[in-house]
């Protein structure tokens, strides 16, 4: 599905997710390096774009990760995550980064990253 630049950014859906890393300073340092600018595998970022993810940020505190994922307005989370799991090198990437995470090497991104429930929004 193709979107114009105006359609992509005029409205979007936002998802927030969390994941726990191994509580090991060296592994956390290495995980940050894997995600440093330019280090994510290009097939992973292009696959995310192809399923409708417009932007993504990951934050860390201690060993807890927090992800903000902005998507196209008609994004179907379950369908997109199933499609993403089939993209080139996605399962290889998930196995690679699983050594840093409290998860199994066979888990998909959707199984690892837990959706969070929004309980407050300023102005609402």
What DSSP assignment string belongs to 75-111?
--HHHHHHHHHTSTTHHHHHHHHGGGBSS-TT--HHH
Cα 35 to chain centroid, rounded? 11
Burial of 84 (C-beta count, 10 Å sphere; 0-12/13-18/19+): buried
Comparison of pLDDT for 124 and 13, the residue scoring more: 13
pLDDT band (50, 70, 90) for residue 41: very high
Whole-angstrom distance, CA of residue 72 vs CA of residue 33: 28
Condensed to tens digits (0 to 9), the pLDDT of residues 63-112 reads 999 999 999 999 999 999 999 999 999 999 999 999 999 998 899 999 99
Task: Please give the model's pTM, rounded to 2 decimal places.
Answer: 0.86
Domain 11-114 classification at class level: alpha beta
């Amino acid at each position: 599905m193709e979107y114009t630049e105006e359609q992509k950014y005029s409205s979007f859906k936002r998802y927030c997710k969390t994941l726990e890393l191994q509580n090991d300073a060296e592994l956390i340092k290495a995980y940050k390096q894997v995600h440093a600018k330019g280090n994510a595998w290009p097939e992973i970022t292009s696959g995310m774009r192809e399923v409708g993810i417009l932007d993504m940020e990951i934050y860390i505190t201690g060993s807890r990760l927090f992800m903000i994922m902005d998507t196209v307005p008609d994004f179907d989370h379950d369908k997109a995550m199933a499609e993403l799991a089939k993209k080139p090198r996605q399962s290889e990437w998930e196995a690679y980064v699983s050594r840093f995470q409290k998860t199994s090497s066979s888990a998909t991104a959707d199984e690892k990253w837990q959706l969070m429930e929004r309980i407050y929004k300023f102005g609402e």
